[in-house]
Amino acid sequence: MPKRTFQPNTRKAKKKHGFRARMLKKAGRKTLKRRRDRKRALLSK
């Protein structure tokens, strides 16, 4: 039986999907814009 693939790591998640990580790239800023347009309560991790 293989092990579970999701091994939660807050630091890793924030570095990849965090707000500041999103702000670094144009695509990330676009993602935040889309989420703002949809009135998401949570924009990023």
Q: How far is Cα of residue 33 from the mean position of the Cα atoms in its chain? A: 13
Where residue 26 sits, what CATH number does that domain have?
1.10.287.3980
Are 29 and 23 in contact, with CB atoms under 8 Å apart?
A: yes
Answer whether residue 20 is part of any domain. Answer: yes
Overall domain count for the chain? 1
Answer whether residue 1 is part of any domain. Answer: no
Q: What pLDDT, on the 0 to 100 scale, is given for residue 12?
A: 97
What is the tens place of the pLDDT at every residue in 2-31? 999 999 999 999 999 999 999 999 999 999
- Distance from C-alpha of 18 to C-alpha of 3, rounded to nearest angstrom: 26
The pTM assigned to this predicted structure is 0.81
Answer whether residue 24 is part of any domain. Answer: yes
Q: How far is CA 44 from CA 1, 2, 3, 4, 21, in A?
A: 33, 30, 28, 24, 9
- Distance from C-alpha of 19 to C-alpha of 43, rounded to nearest angstrom: 7
Answer whether residue 18 is part of any domain. Answer: yes
Q: What pLDDT, on the 0 to 100 scale, is given for residue 27?
A: 98
22: containing domain = 10-45
Residue 43: pLDDT band (50, 70, 90) is very high
